[in-house]
């Protein structure tokens, strides 16, 4: 048996799923403003928060996952392409998340963001911002891809049983849930459209950017929540030049190899993904105060490195703002470096 509840009662959704026998609970997409509500609900129902899942890196509200993780020692679970260092478990397509007797199947559903996932359990699917009720999430953020989103929806979500209940991370029309069958037949964004038609439709939409997107997105990507922190704006981030993993690997073997600046946390640098030989470790949260350590390399090519290429883009923009002119980013970070089986040290 399971317990299920949507806790926000607003346009932004947070779902709780719990095992009735063990009283272990999972929170999906908690928001920071409602942390006290979640803790009160857990206490009232005598539930233990066992795990937290952010279905993607949110751009419109501060996540509550980091604070809840620290307060409860719950596991923080995200897709392996999630940029944030606070994640304790990374998952991929087909993985199972156990919470007491419950087992939730992970579906990798990129398109809204590169780290978007959905969760399927007991006839319900939690779709994050990839598939909404009568709509789909925007695909124009950095790393978004309308073609990938179409594939995620049609090949993975629409492959679920028709009677599956759909619970998205947002709803703006007062809906609480839908079904896969209903979205297949009636969703005006995607029903009856080819992949090319969907891409064209999404490209024609002119969404306004969420209010204070950088103040929200950067802390969600980095877990740095500091009122004094000055993050680059979107224009600065978009100007950062990118190198692929293969390009960086070739440069390292050249007569003029770049300096590799790894901006992850120390445990990540020596962790599962390892690090590139010869790279210098300066965590992003310390970078602004430690640039003196790379001052001698100001005229050399510098390639910033992180887990998935997000924090390192921020680092590259910071360095460019400080006058470093030959700064690049390792596109898709150490995740892609490992996927290509390029050499690492641990």
Same domain, 18 and 131: yes
CATH of the domain at 130: 3.60.15.10
Question: Is 210 domain-assigned?
Answer: no
Could you tell me if 171 and 11 are in contact, meaning their C-beta atoms sit under 8 angstroms apart?
yes
Question: Is 22 domain-assigned?
Answer: yes
pTM of the complete model: 0.93
CATH of the domain at 312: 3.40.250.10
Same domain, 166 and 298: no
What would the mean pLDDT of 285-293 be, rounded to a whole number? 93
For β-strands 135-136 and 165-168, DSSP reports them as unpaired
% the chain with pLDDT above 90? 86
Strand order in the sheet with 75-79: 2-6, 15-19, 24-28, 48-53, 75-79, 89-91
Same domain, 48 and 112: yes
Same domain, 69 and 191: yes
Q: Beta-carbon neighbour count of residue 210 at 10 Å?
A: 16
Domain interval for residue 122: 2-204
Domain total of the chain: 2
Question: Is 152 domain-assigned?
Answer: yes
Question: Is 209 domain-assigned?
Answer: no
If we measure between CA atoms, which residue out of 293, 342, 344 comes closest to residue 322?
293
Q: Beta-carbon neighbour count of residue 9 at 10 Å?
A: 11
For position 228, what pLDDT does the model report?
A: 63
Question: Is 280 domain-assigned?
Answer: yes
pLDDT at 225 over 80: no
% the chain with pLDDT above 70? 99
79 bridge partner residues:
91
With bands split at pLDDT 50, 70 and 90, how would you rate the model's confidence at 321? very high
What would the mean pLDDT of 16-38 be, rounded to a whole number? 97
Same domain, 130 and 275: no
Mean pLDDT, rounded, of the chain: 94
DSSP 275: B
Measure the CA–CA gap between 229 and 242, rounded to whole angstroms. Answer: 24
Question: Is 220 domain-assigned?
Answer: no
pLDDT at 226 over 80: no
Same domain, 277 and 174: no
Same domain, 239 and 298: yes
């Amino acid at each position: 048996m399971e317990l299920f509840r949507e806790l926000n009662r607003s346009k932004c959704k947070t779902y709780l799923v719990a095992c009735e026998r063990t009283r272990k609970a999972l929170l999906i997409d908690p928001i920071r403003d409602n942390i006290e509500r979640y803790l009160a609900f857990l206490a009232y129902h005598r539930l233990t928060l066992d795990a937290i899942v952010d279905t993607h890196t949110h751009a419109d509200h501060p996540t509550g996952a980091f604070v809840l993780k620290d307060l409860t020692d719950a596991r923080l679970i995200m897709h392996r392409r999630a940029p944030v260092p606070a994640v304790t478990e990374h998952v991929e397509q087909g993985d199972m998340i156990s919470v007491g007797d419950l087992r939730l199947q992970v579906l990798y559903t990129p398109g809204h963001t590169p780290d978007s996932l959905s969760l399927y359990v007991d006839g319900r699917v939690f779709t994050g911002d990839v598939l909404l009720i009568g709509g789909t999430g925007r695909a124009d953020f950095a790393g978004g891809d309308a073609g990938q989103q179409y594939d995620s929806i049609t090949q993975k979500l629409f492959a679920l049983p028709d009677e599956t209940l759909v619970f998205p991370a947002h709803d703006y029309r007062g809906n609480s849930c839908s079904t896969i069958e209903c979205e297949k037949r009636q969703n005006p964004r995607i029903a009856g459209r080819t992949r090319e038609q969907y891409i064209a439709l999404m490209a024609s939409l002119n969404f306004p950017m969420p209010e204070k997107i950088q103040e929200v997105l950067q802390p969600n990507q980095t877990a740095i929540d500091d009122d004094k922190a000055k993050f680059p704006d979107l224009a600065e981030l978009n100007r950062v030049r990118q190198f692929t993993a293969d390009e960086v690997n070739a440069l390292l073997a050249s007569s003029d190899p770049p300096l590799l600046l790894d901006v992850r946390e120390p445990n990540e640098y020596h962790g599962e993904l390892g690090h590139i030989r010869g790279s210098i470790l300066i965590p992003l949260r310390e970078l602004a105060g430690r640039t003196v350590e790379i001052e001698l390399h100001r005229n050399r090519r510098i390639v910033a490195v992180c887990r998935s290429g997000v924090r390192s883009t921020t680092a590259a923009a910071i360095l460019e703002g400080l006058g470093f002119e030959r700064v690049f980013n390792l596109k898709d970070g150490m995740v892609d470096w490992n996927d290509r089986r390029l050499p690492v040290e641990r």
